[in-house]
A and B are shown apart, each in its own frame.
Chain A
Amino acid sequence: DAGVTQSPTHLIKTRGQHVTLRCSPISGHKSVSWYQQVLGQGPQFIFQYYEKEERGRGNFPDRFSARQFPNYSSELNVNALLLGDSALYLCASADYPSTDTQYFGPGTRLTVL
């Protein structure tokens, strides 16, 4: 059974540009969460979606937005990129509400120049 998949694997953008990252959860999982992991730090929570609705939002600016589609896949959008947005962006899925255990994808490494 396939795990969480994310695309693209790597991405290079310049300041001020927009980026869209994509995530497909484990089959049957309806909850998707997004995290930002800066080098040397633990993942920081950005958003959680369940049944296509935003359930939680971390302390990130409005430049960050996300959505979940009817097939439970998700997109994370970041506008007006800053150098500080360079990080590994992780998607995690969970078989919520049965369990809160989150399973992570391999991440998308974003570099902003």
Chain B
Amino acid sequence: QKEVEQDPGPLSVPEGAIVSLNCTYSNSAFQYFMWYRQYSRKGPELLMYTYSSGNKEDGRFTAQVDKSSKYISLFIRDSQPSDSATYLCAMSAQISGGYQKVTFGTGTKLQVIP
């Protein structure tokens, strides 16, 4: 079983739709939860970062963490064609030696159709 599971999609939605992206995880040691956006052939760009259960909002983006269910979500409101990209969830846990090991999901490819 993978530590982090993410539906690879692809997901295709009309412009203006609400998008829901999800990841589940199995490692209870994960402390920090992140969402990255990656455009084709580019490096991942950090969108959201949180370390506690609950919601965090930033503009059209809302990150949700439920540690009891080991489930995280990213919601995109009023989706735009420029949101078309691959979205990666990532989680980190402190490893012996003091460093944080970051584990990524496989990414969900999103297409927003004008």
Q: Mark B39-70, 1 if CB is under 8 A from A, else 0.
A: 00111111001000000000000000000000
Distance between Cα atoms of A45 and B102 in the complex (Å): 7
Q: Which residues of B contact A105 (CB under 8 A)?
A: 43
B98 at the interface (CB under 8 A from A): yes
**Contact residues in A for B45 (Cβ distance below 8 Å):** 104
Interface size class on chain B is 20 to 34
**Contact between B43 and A107, CB atoms less than 8 A apart:** yes
Q: How many A-B residue pairs have CB under 8 A?
A: 60
Closest-CB distance, B107 to chain A (whole angstroms) = 5
Is A73 close to B, CB under 8 A?
no
Q: B32: which A residues are within 8 A, CB to CB?
A: 100
Please, which residue of chain B has its CB at the minimum distance from the CB of A43? B104
Cβ contact of A48, chosen from B6, B43, B99, B104, cutoff 8 A = B99
A10 to B36, CA, bound (A): 23
Cα distance, A43 to B32, chains bound together (Å): 17
Pair B107/A42 contact, Cβ less than 8 Å: yes
**What are 13 contact pairs spanning A and B, CB under 8 A?**
A33-B102, A35-B104, A42-B105, A45-B101, A55-B98, A88-B41, A90-B44, A100-B100, A101-B46, A101-B49, A102-B102, A107-B42, A107-B43
A104/B101 contact (C-beta < 8 A), A40-B106, A56-B95 known: no
User: Of residues B41, B100, B104, which shows the largest number of chain A Cβ atoms within 10 Å of its Cβ?
Assistant: B100
